[in-house]
Amino acid sequence: MNTLQVELGQRSYPIFIGNNLLGDHRLLEPYINGKQVMVVTNSTVGPLYLDKVMSSLTAYQTATVTLPDGEQYKTLDSMNTVMTALLEQHFNRSCTLIALGGGVVGDICGYAAASYQRGVDFIQIPTTLLSQVDSSVGGKTGVNHTLGKNMIGAFHQPRAVIADTSSLDTLDDRELSAGIAEVIKYGLIRDPDFFSWLEQNMSLLLSRDTDALIYAIERSCQNKADVVAADELEQGQRALLNLGHTFGHAIETGMGYGKWLHGEAVGCGMCMAAEMSQRLGWLDQKSVSSILALIEKANLPSRPPENMTTEQFLSLMSVDKKNINNRLRLVLMKSIGEAIITDDFSHDALLETLNSY
């Protein structure tokens, strides 16, 4: 087992990464303060791993909530289901919530923890690659709205993150590729050596080689931990973690939540950001080609849906948390390994990029 630390002063917490970690009570008990524990999972993950987690919680008063599986259920209604269960079971403010599942479960459970009695503890047990390398780390929690993705939520850090790579054995190939999109992102925004490693080892990740997965998860989490420690509330550089997300969120919202997986939309969004960066004269053609080739090698889409229009993209991108004073801000690339957040770009370059697709 490898251990990383997210350094946030009194809110610091560990990330445990390894194989067959589920069910180990020694990893959970130090981060549970009270006697009440509620595990929030979904209808796909629950039948696979809930019993194993519950077996490590025999010393506590426990309850479970099983949500339907899918991005389309990342809603206030789903969070209200968790809240109702907490109230019905008379959970107090020293309780702990555990998120057992992918990014949707983690975001809903974390937002419920941030809100219940004005804030209770929670622990992340991410079971998808995307949640292990990205959404479980950093304290972003929330739900979607029909008008925009992740527009309702709160910053609320977990007490610990337990990333068990054995849970990836039951992940389907499409979800695995979606997680790899977020892994590629770290190489593009700040870690060019990692990008080169991914070019050389993508086949190992796709074949679920344990050592390759652990290395990719640890390197991704270290990159994210460093960024979060420097800018916890996304006042500046943390927004770099949104490379491809403004384009990608427009795809997810425009197509209807769940039609495209989040990682698929982000992968495509990174291709669009790369092309726009080239149009601005920042990225050379070789770099753009390398990015598109790696995205496609990961079995991710490099082109947006054919039925989305430029006007639809612009409308949906205008509803983005990075925008300030009605000015669209994008994460673009100066080179592989160097990204910037900017609203100082040619609007024509954006239009040309969207029109080209």
Neighbours of 94 (CB within 10 A): 13
Name the active-site residue from 175, 218, 234, 252. Answer: 234
- Tell me if residue 199 is catalytic: no
Class of residue 111 by CB neighbours under 10 A (exposed 0-12, middle 13-18, buried 19+): buried
Q: In the chain, where does DSSP find H-type helix?
A: 25-28, 46-54, 76-88, 103-115, 129-130, 173-190, 192-206, 210-230, 245-255, 262-279, 285-297, 310-317, 347-356
Dig out the tokens for 30 from the structure: 């130090």
Phi, psi (degrees; rounded to nearest 5) at 170:
-100, 5
Neighbours of 279 (CB within 10 A): 20
Closest Cα to residue 223, out of 201, 205, 234, 238? 238
Find the Cα–Cα–Cα–Cα dihedral 11, 178, 255, 257, rounded to 10°: -40
- Tell me if residue 74 is catalytic: no
Name the active-site residue from 71, 175, 182, 218. Answer: 182
Name the active-site residue from 149, 224, 279, 321. Answer: 224
Per-position DSSP letters for 223-265, written without gaps between them: HHHHHHHH-TT-SSGGGGGGTTHHHHHHHHHHH-TTSS-HHHH
Name the active-site residue from 118, 307, 325, 326. Answer: 118
Name the active-site residue from 140, 190, 321, 329. Answer: 140
- Tell me if residue 238 is catalytic: yes
What is the distance, to the nearest Å, from the Cα of residue 250 to the centroid of all Cα atoms in its chain? 16
Phi, psi (degrees; rounded to nearest 5) at 280:
-85, 0
In the block, which residue shows the tokens 């989040």? 262
- Tell me if residue 224 is catalytic: yes
What distance in Å separates the CA atoms of residue 274 and residue 6, rounded to the nearest whole number? 30
Per-position DSSP letters for 113-133, written without gaps between them: HHHGGG--EEEEEE-SHHIII
- Tell me if residue 118 is catalytic: yes
- Tell me if residue 150 is catalytic: no
- Tell me if residue 245 is catalytic: yes
- Tell me if residue 347 is catalytic: no
Name the active-site residue from 149, 238, 279, 321. Answer: 238
What positions carry a catalytic annotation?
Answer: 118, 140, 182, 224, 234, 238, 242, 245, 249, 262
